[in-house]
């Protein structure tokens, strides 16, 4: 009897742990989706489209389509926070260059922008 109960409670614990794991990964997925949506808002509010195009919308001089597949998250972030350094590294001669004013955006907005850019694959 005692052994049976123990087996049952181990099973129950396992089931509960698995269920909790699923709930956690679902929540993480949901968070990603909202970060991407927030990033899209920040992109529009900061008028990145004055110089960049996504899906044909904005300035065709610097398309960002597929940038999430070409650049790692760290480099996407670096373009936002250290554009002069990245312009030199990429040997970009395009004018006007990427402005040096986004580093002071709230950290959560920069994270959201990076999530959005990463989603462009
Ligand atoms: C005044 C114009 C201008 C604005 C505004 C601007 N950028 Fe840029 N950005 C550039 C230029 C020029 C480059 C270099 C592109 C090249 O040489 O191919 C660049 C490069 C980038 C890159 C790297 C692209 C690649 O193909 O390697 C990313 C990512 C980027 N910008 C994101 C942004 C985001 C996000 C914003 C808004 C917060 C923004 N930019 C606003 C001009 C601008």
Q: Residue ranges of the domains in the chain? A: 36-118
**Mean predicted confidence (pLDDT) in 75-97:** 98
**pLDDT digits 0-9 by tens, 65-76:** 999 999 999 999
Ligand 1 residue neighbourhood (C-beta within 6 Å): 43, 46, 48, 50-52, 62, 64, 67, 71, 76, 79-80, 90, 92, 94, 96-99, 102, 113, 117
The arrangement of strands across the sheet holding 57-58 comes to 57-58, 52-54, 62-63
**Per-residue DSSP letter, 48:** G
Residue 32 — very low, low, confident or very high, per pLDDT cuts 50/70/90? Answer: confident
How far apart CA 96 and CA 73 sit, in angstroms, is 24
User: What is the reported pLDDT for 9?
Assistant: 55
Q: Is the pTM of this model over 0.85?
A: no
Greater model confidence, 70 or 30: 70
What is the second-level CATH architecture of the domain 36-118? Answer: Orthogonal Bundle (1.10)
């Amino acid at each position: 009897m005692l052994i049976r109960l123990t087996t049952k409670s181990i099973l129950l614990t396992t089931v509960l742990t698995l269920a909790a794991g699923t709930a956690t990964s679902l929540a993480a997925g949901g968070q990603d989706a909202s970060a991407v949506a927030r990033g899209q808002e920040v992109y529009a509010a900061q008028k990145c489209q004055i110089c960049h195009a996504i899906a044909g919308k904005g300035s065709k001089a610097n398309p960002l389509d597929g940038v999430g597949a070409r650049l790692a998250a760290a480099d996407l972030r670096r373009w936002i926070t250290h554009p002069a350094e990245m312009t030199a590294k990429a040997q970009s001669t395009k004018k006007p260059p990427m402005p040096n004013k986004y580093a002071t955006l709230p950290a959560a907005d920069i994270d959201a922008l990076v999530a959005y850019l990463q989603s462009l694959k």
